[in-house]
Amino acid sequence: MYLSIKYKVLLTLVVITTSAVLVMWLMVKWSFDRGFLRYVSDVERAAHQGLVDALADEYQRSGDWERLRHNPRRFQELQLISLLRSDLRRHVAMAPPLWIGQFFPNPRVGAGATMGAMPFNLPVAAPHLAAVLLDADQEFVVGRGGEVDDLNLLPITVSGRDVGFLGIRPPPGLTDRHDLYFSQRQAHALMAIALAVIALAALMAWPISRQLVRPIRELSQGAQRLAAGDYDMRMTPGPGDELGQLTADFNSLAKALQENEKSRRRWIADISHELRTPLSILQGEIEAMQDGIRTPSAERLQVLHNETTNLTRLVKDLYELSLSDIGALSYQKRSTDLETVLAGCVAGYRDKFADRGIELSWLSSCADGITVFGDADRLKQLFSNLLSNSLRYTDPNGRVEVGLSRRDDMAVIDIRDSAPGVPAEHLPHLFERLYRVESSRSRATGGSGLGLSICRSIVEAHDGRISAQASSLGGLWIQVELPMEKPS
């Protein structure tokens, strides 16, 4: 059966409350029963104090327990007299035991009562005559039954010496009808209170469960709106608890999805534009030749070839980035001398820089070489892209410096070029796909806008870092950090 979270929370609160109230009711009832039984026992002990005094007087007159040992009826008479003289006389008058009415049609016992006023046909086992007499050695004198350890012993003292003990059997339970009635009323009252507390808890749990579930319901509705493509929606910030943190995380997720959607749309628009430009040129030139407007020549064919080359490079870069995104770009990593790879790339580009009048300098501060665990071909691609970027965007008669150094356990590659520079607000976006600073590093230079994105993918695949900042030469400073291979 399906239950919503609201009803699950409500049911949980009710079950917990009911369990707690039930345990509390059982503990209170157990404590009350024990306490009330102990109270009754203490009352009976107090009631027998008169019998202790009477037995002490009897021992003082006789000098021993032999008289009572041979005349247990006398012991019973003493019990009856002490009972009727005790503070429980009002209880006896209110609810006299049935056996008293059988032997005393008009029970009237006062301080001056004598033995002659008592009948001699007392029952042997009356309900309130459950005491036994023991001597100083705790041997039974009058009465039997059970072990001595099971009795509550009241010492009988004569002249400062314990001459015997009055043994009282603790009551196994309540026997008086007034005591039973009081105990039952208390039990019923406790049960009524427990039921009232459970009902009150259920009534209070209902709004509490609704309040607890409300943020979850709102988050569920928000998730449905996100799934439907509404990335502009935001949840109202909640309190500083787990649900509030979940709401904040949800808003962060919505913002990230919104940014991703904007990037996706911008990506599609940029790709469409990048593909349309060379295709438009190709189509226009070919149609002009077909219509006889232009005659085919080596120069026009070279233009078509250049546009085809740009288009091929763009598609290749897109393909590599897509492979990197899905983790399918292959890397053949092994121990690689980074200085050799970088120096080779610099040597390969030296003539190209010289053709544009750009000074290319190379400096390595690592005399013993630097070894990294990487793919030599991908590292060549990384350095070639960075050098091509500097070659493409550095003004003629400029300068490019390439350096290799060591910082702790990282190999650091620095490529600095001269003007034009990149405004500071554009630096964090240089590694985004198809991102260009149109004012200085424009599409007219022939770049696809994907080179630095590919560089970042290669660096991250080697567990490194790449960053861009302003160069002291007036242009751009690209810094690459790659972890060096640890010696085995």
Provide the pLDDT for residue 404: 93
Structure tokens belonging to residue 485: 């291979």
State the DSSP string of 419-456: SS---GGGGGGTTSTT--BTTTB-GGG---S-HHHHHH
d(CA 109, CA 117): 9
d(CA 291, CA 61): 154
d(CA 473, CA 417): 6
Closest CA to 108 of 85, 91, 88, 124: 85
Can you tell me whether residue 354 is helix, strand or coil?
helix
Provide the pLDDT for residue 2: 63
Structure tokens belonging to residue 242: 């787990």
Instruction: Kindly report the length of the chain.
Output: 488
Burial readout 420-449 (b: 16 or more C-beta within 10 A, e: otherwise):
bbbeeebbeebbbbbbbbeebbeeeeebbb
For residue 179, give every residue at least 6 positions away whose Cβ sits within 8 Å of its Cβ, in sequence order, or none: 36, 40
Torsion angle, alpha carbons of 341, 342, 347, 351, to 10: 130
Provide the pLDDT for residue 203: 85
d(CA 110, CA 435): 116
Provide the pLDDT for residue 368: 75
Closest CA to 369 of 346, 408, 336: 336
Can you tell me whether residue 411 is helix, strand or coil?
strand
Provide the pLDDT for residue 129: 53
d(CA 48, CA 75): 13
Please write the tens of the pLDDT for every residue from 263-295: 778 777 777 777 777 788 788 888 888 888 888
Residue ranges of the chain with per-residue pLDDT less than 70? 1-3, 5-6, 41, 44-45, 47, 83, 85-130, 144-146, 170-176, 179, 325-329, 367, 436-449, 488
Provide the pLDDT for residue 91: 45
C-beta neighbour count of 486 within 10 angstroms: 8
d(CA 26, CA 455): 74
φ, ψ for residue 168, nearest 5 deg:
-115, 125
Contact 343, 364 (CB under 8 A): yes
Structure tokens belonging to residue 204: 């209070």
Provide the pLDDT for residue 175: 59
The residue type at 392: R
d(CA 468, CA 475): 11
Provide the pLDDT for residue 473: 92
Contact 50, 86 (CB under 8 A): yes
Please give the angle made by the CA atoms of 229, 235 and 238, to the nearest 5 degrees: 160
d(CA 210, CA 68): 77
Provide the pLDDT for residue 206: 81
pTM score: 0.49
For residue 152, give every residue at least 6 positions away whose Cβ sits within 8 Å of its Cβ, in sequence order, or none: 41, 45, 167, 168, 169, 170
CA distance to 131, 138, 149, 209, 453, per residue, from 152 (Å): 9, 12, 8, 55, 94
Provide the pLDDT for residue 137: 87
Can you tell me whether residue 481 is helix, strand or coil?
strand
Beta-strand pair 334-337/371-374: antiparallel
Domains of the chain with CATH codes: 48-175 (no CATH), 242-325 (1.10.287.130), 334-483 (3.30.565.10)
Contact 235, 226 (CB under 8 A): no
Closest CA to 393 of 350, 427, 426, 358: 358
Provide the pLDDT for residue 344: 92
H helical segments located in 291-337:
298-325
d(CA 368, CA 484): 13
Distance of CA 414 to the CA centre of its chain: 46
H helical segments located in 328-405:
338-355, 376-393
Provide the pLDDT for residue 355: 92
Asked whether the CA dihedral 175, 177, 181, 182 is positive or negative, the reply is: negative
Q: Where are the beta strands (DSSP E) in 131-217?
A: 131-135, 140-142, 152-158, 161-168
